[in-house]
Amino acid sequence: MRAVMVERYGGEAGVRTREAPEPNVGADDVLVRVHAAGVNPLDLKIRDGEFKAILPYRVPFILGNDLAGVVVDVGAAVTRFAVGDEVYARPDKDRIGTFAELIAVHQDDLAAKPATLTMQDAASLPLVALTAWQALVERAHVRPGRKVLIHAGSGGLGTIAIQLAKHLGAHVATTAGTDNIDLVESLGADVVVDYKKQDFATVLHDYDVVLDTLGGETLTKSLDVLKPGGKVVSVAGPPDATFARELGANPIIRLAMTALSFRTRRRARRRQVTYSFLFMRASGDQLREITALVDTGKIRPVVDRVFPFEHAKDALAYVEQGRAKAGKVVITMT
């Protein structure tokens, strides 16, 4: 089968499209013919080796973390899926590889594709929708009336998180560029801060939750817009000890992550708020919840551009260069 493979860490030069062995199908696995795959900043970080200490993929390996496709085979213990089913997924972190014609996915990580979506639109959702769900529902426990700030509202994660937060009954603020104000308002944002003209930290205050997608100075300022007892959930800030424990990291890695997040956690304590780092996990059960929201019109995907499989490296470069105007980039396999 054809696949986009990382042959060595360290950038675009280490990525090549080539033939790869078809995946083995275990008893609990579902073999999926990939029709489309989403492209995420996470793919670039994995390609560049930024997570080698915690996600030690052995080169060569197939890249990709989102998919939509059709079931072509099932393992002996599979009960939820049958050949011909249309499905989508974010595979487990230890079994990535969606930039390929075929992938074997554990049945617990898979869900039926939303009936209202094309394969391309469905492939844009799993990673960002699961991230939004785990941040806002699991970690922040967003309820009606809560004030939620979502950074980079026009991005792949932001576009879904705004819609989910509104579905949960929150008052939603977001940051976006001038050209994307109409888009994020159409997704449900109540307050939009144009980051090209305003500093969100001088405009917003007394928020219950911040979903940080940018890290750095944005994360630091986000602590200041929270009310006492508020929470920042970050996908871009320093990892913390809780994440290390979830990962099953060794004591040295745990200590290192604790040290990395020390200043942020200390600043949060002084502000009487909390900081939480999120590295999303695969979940077919949560995807089924998201499917229901999509098929009832509560959430709609936003796709910026679709690239054919032959131009997968161009798709990665497009994301890396920040050229996407809004939403996700997708690679189509068929």
Q: Are 166 and 188 in contact (CB under 8 A)?
A: yes
Confidence band (pLDDT; 50, 70, 90) for 244?
confident
Closest CA to 109 of 67, 72, 157: 67
Mean pLDDT of 69-88: 98
Range in 147-151, 220-224, 253-257 the model is least confident about: 253-257
Mean pLDDT of 186-208: 97
pLDDT for the residue 191:
98
Percent of the chain residues past pLDDT 70, beyond the cut? 100
Closest CA to 20 of 92, 104, 105: 104
pLDDT digits (tens, 9 = 90+) for 33-45: 999 999 999 999 9
Q: Please tell me whether residue 58 adopts helix, strand or coil conformation.
A: coil
Q: Please tell me whether residue 20 adopts helix, strand or coil conformation.
A: coil
* Residue ranges, CATH 3.90.180.10, the chain: 2-124+302-332
| In CATH, 127-277 is 3.40.50.720 | yes
Residue 61 CB neighbours (<10 A): 15
Q: Please tell me whether residue 202 adopts helix, strand or coil conformation.
A: helix
In degrees and rounded to multiples of 5, residue 62 shows phi and psi of: -85, 135
Q: Please tell me whether residue 89 adopts helix, strand or coil conformation.
A: strand
Pick the CATH number of 2-124+302-332 from 3.90.180.10, 3.30.70.2660, 3.10.20.30, 3.40.1800.10: 3.90.180.10
Mean pLDDT of 175-200: 97
* Residue ranges, CATH 3.40.50.720, the chain: 127-277
What is the residue-averaged pLDDT of the chain? 96
pLDDT for the residue 213:
96
Statement: residue 25 has pLDDT above 80: yes
Q: Are 60 and 17 in contact (CB under 8 A)?
A: no
Q: Are 15 and 47 in contact (CB under 8 A)?
A: yes
Q: Pairing mode, if any, of strands 171-176 and 226-234?
A: unpaired
The first and second tokens of residue 49, run together, are: 């080796």
Statement: residue 211 has pLDDT above 80: yes
Closest CA to 98 of 3, 224, 230, 217: 3
Helix then strand then coil, % of the chain, to nearest 5? 35, 25, 35
pLDDT for the residue 242:
82
Confidence band (pLDDT; 50, 70, 90) for 247?
confident
Mean pLDDT of 95-106: 98
> Rounded to the nearest 10 degrees, what angle do helices 126-133 and 284-295 cross at?
100
pLDDT for the residue 51:
85
Interatomic CA distance for residues 52 and 106, integer angstroms: 23
Closest CA to 67 of 42, 25, 23, 97: 97
